[in-house]
A and B are shown apart, each in its own frame.
Chain A
């Protein structure tokens, strides 16, 4: 109990600890709260949150490349595509039409790690030719890679069914799962459980577990020898090399490890949607993930996560819902004239807002960056270091 109190006291002023705590509490209570608030009809929202979790994973991965190692990557969605397609090919009937004539149906839990390793390998492969490039030049090459990969998958018709994408992917299965009121059932153990689209909560729990594991892994890396090497390369590559940091390996590892998270995310995304299509991995996806990282606070893990949650919420919940909300609000305030459609004139408030959607999005982005140019939750010196501080006066007052 005392240890807990000390822990709270030590971290009460640490923004990262607060952010982690808030996110953990929110993640744990979110499904219960939305289900309660909507009277049990919130499966849609829980499922949306699980999709948002994919972007949180992607932001965590890109933060390693851009935030830690300082390598501007504009083609990150390529690794996301590689992860998704790896799962798509390994866990569907697709490969029967390929020259292999055999479908593997690798279980999700194994494919997850295969996807991770394939994406990491692709990351290293992309990293290799770009090692001599810095800054803007590197960004352009990664941009090219991000364009090539989806096109490559689109054209490999035998392996990926081209523009149609791979559909009817296998869903993850578990020997058992806890069931309860959230799935409109009584408490109990469900045997031979399958993750289907009817079970949003299961997907939600799965992505939360993946995120927690990733955060622990990346956080450990950040505080390790490799993490410091990344930051040293980011700050001054020449000086880092003079201190004995193998900059080539360090940068390759940044690309590979960053990519491995999108491999994770890709497999989950493919399995949940049960569809992998070349249209899901365009340039706009790379840019969205980069915006999440920059907006949240480059180089800080909870910062990138908050950026991802916020932007995802704006893009996939707030903006799509805004026209309807505006229309309802207008009605409630007795301004129904706003809702009347004039032919060749006023289109009605809902349609008006709908047309303004992306201007709104831009305004939100610009406003945040003007108010917090360093990001919502920027990286900071570690607490333990701050705690020791500079002691000009006696460090401890005897009590």
Chain B
């Protein structure tokens, strides 16, 4: 008997991705419940980012279904999954370097804007009003992640931690239901990690489901309700943090068999 009656926001069913002879992701299945933090961990090269790419449409899965809010989105184009409500950040930060921080966030809002070509060329009242609203909202997102002071700086001139935050702000601007964060704490100081965890809590409070790839066990164990573990493309464990921490196969995958 299950306690969770609500359908999961994202459900992977036998997702497989092969690159030639290499199996990067091998029949992975799990459900991401709505409104929680779900984490995906695993050693380097386990296929975590490949799985993210399969969800966001950057890769087309070789087999399996990716069901988001009840609809199979496997093989959809990236811009389409963004429209449907999946946003992501990147492991190696991919900002629009020569746009201001504010403009980076405004690009995120692109997908929710209505102005057509005609409106843009002639700057119709609709376009003007929308531009104003978009700018205000973008400032709110920057404030939300705490970098509104740097709104006018080029993205490339921001400090590393600020760039990570800007990526989150840009992803939030697409008004996602599901936010995929790919190693958001990589290279962070302990203090920054604490701030990041607080930010994740704030995002959850807005009703957005967070799906996290992370190496830092402290962060993962603290923020997530559920954890799935990948090794060599296969799911080897899934469950609440306490359970995963003591799983024999997980310990082997991380520390080697002899340990």
Contact = CB atoms under 8 A, between A and B. Distances in A.
Interface residues of B, number: 45
A231 B99 CA distance: 8
Interface stretch (B101-109, B186-194, B227-235, B241-249): B101-109
Main secondary structure of the interface of A (DSSP, over half): helix
B95 A245 contact: no
Contacts of A243: 82, 87, 107-108, 110-111, 170-171, 174
Contacts of B123: 220, 224
B28 interface: no
Q: Using C-beta atoms within 8 Å of the partner chain, give the interface range for chain A.
A: 20 to 34
A220 B120 contact: yes
A385 B151 contact: yes
17 contacts: A220-B121, A220-B122, A220-B127, A224-B123, A231-B98, A232-B96, A232-B110, A235-B95, A235-B96, A236-B95, A242-B87, A242-B90, A243-B87, A243-B108, A381-B154, A385-B152, A390-B150
* Nearest 8 interchain pairs by C-beta: A244-B111, A244-B82, A224-B120, A235-B96, A241-B78, A239-B94, A385-B152, A232-B107
B79 interface: yes
Interface of B: 56, 58, 77-79, 82-83, 87-88, 90, 94-100, 102-103, 106-108, 110-111, 113, 115, 117, 119-123, 127, 130-131, 134, 149-154, 170-171, 174
B107 A385 contact: no
Given A229-B110, A239-B94, A239-B96, A247 B79 contact: yes
Given A225-B120, A235-B96, A385-B102, A240 B107 contact: yes
B79 A241 contact: yes
Interface in A240-264: 240-247, 253
B96 A231 contact: yes
Contacts of B95: 235-236, 239
B225 to A, nearest CB: 25
A225 B77 contact: no
Contacts of B152: 381, 385-386, 388-390
A155 interface: no
A391 interface: yes
B88 to A, nearest CB: 6
Contact of B121 (A217, A388, A391): A217
A235 B99 contact: yes
Interface of A: 217, 220-221, 223-229, 231-232, 235-236, 238-247, 253, 381-382, 385-386, 388-391
Given A232-B96, A238-B58, A241-B58, 19 more contacts: A220-B127, A223-B131, A224-B131, A225-B113, A235-B96, A238-B78, A238-B94, A239-B95, A240-B107, A241-B79, A241-B82, A242-B78, A243-B82, A243-B111, A243-B170, A245-B110, A381-B152, A388-B151, A390-B152
Contacts of B130: 225
A389 B131 CA distance: 19
A236 B79 contact: no
A356 to B, nearest CB: 39
A228 B99 contact: yes
A228 B56 contact: no
Contacts of A239: 90, 94-96
A256 to B, nearest CB: 10
Contacts of B120: 220-221, 224-227
Nearest to B175: A244
A371 B30 CA distance: 59
Nearest to A227: B120
Contacts of B106: 228
